[in-house]
Amino acid sequence: MTNALFQEKQRFNQIWLMALLAGLVVFGFWGFIQQILLDKPFGDNPESNIGLIFSTFLPLLIVAFIFVLQLRTKIDKTGIVYQFWPIHRKEHIIKWEEVSCAYVRKYGPIMEYGGWGFRTGRKGRALNTSGNMGLQIEFVSGKKLLIGTQKPEELQRVLQKLEIKGKAAN
């Protein structure tokens, strides 16, 4: 893709999510320190040391994975390129010929797709990290894909500049 008219990189950056994940990791490490390093059983019914090590470091790996995730979107005259890295190892390319219409819209991430991330809901698939604005893509095949955006105004201007057929924003 050359001469991108729109580019965006998004990460999961919600404060509530960071606080929840940090709390889980701190709790796990507290148990690890208590039982493994200080040799004091952690809790009324302590887990085995191997189980405690696993249950401490698995959430840490999940947290690291969430912080590495990045939704990348590019748009140019030939189409839309998206990648939810590292889930998607390669960029996915949507050529404008495959699209019946594309428009920016407000959506309900929980009600429509069950939350954020790589989601499937009653209105099709969605890739999003936060917020409630997205690029709704309706394919000639009838399928739908919503790609979240934190730059709805800029994205709308690019679609207008490219004269992409769309619908009125919801």
Whether the CA torsion 94, 96, 100, 104 is positive or negative: it is: positive
CA distances from 96 to 43, 78, 83, 102, 107 (A): 58, 6, 17, 9, 23
- Considering only CA atoms, which of 168, 129, 123 is closest in space to residue 150? 129
pLDDT of residue 170: 44
- SS3 category, 148: strand
What does the pLDDT read at residue 1? 53
Which residues lie closer than 8 Å to 17 by C-beta, 6 or more apart? 66
- Which residues, 6+ apart, have CB-to-CB distance to 124 below 8 Å? 143, 144, 145, 146
CB 75 within 8 A of CB 5: yes
- SS3 assignment, position 53: helix
* Cα maximum dimension of the chain: 67
Per-residue pLDDT of the chain (170 residues; tens, 9 = 90+): 568 899 999 988 767 767 887 888 888 888 888 888 888 888 888 888 888 888 888 888 888 888 889 999 999 999 999 999 988 899 999 999 999 999 999 999 988 998 888 888 788 899 999 889 999 999 999 999 999 999 999 999 999 999 888 764 44
pLDDT tens track for 99-111: 999 999 999 998 8
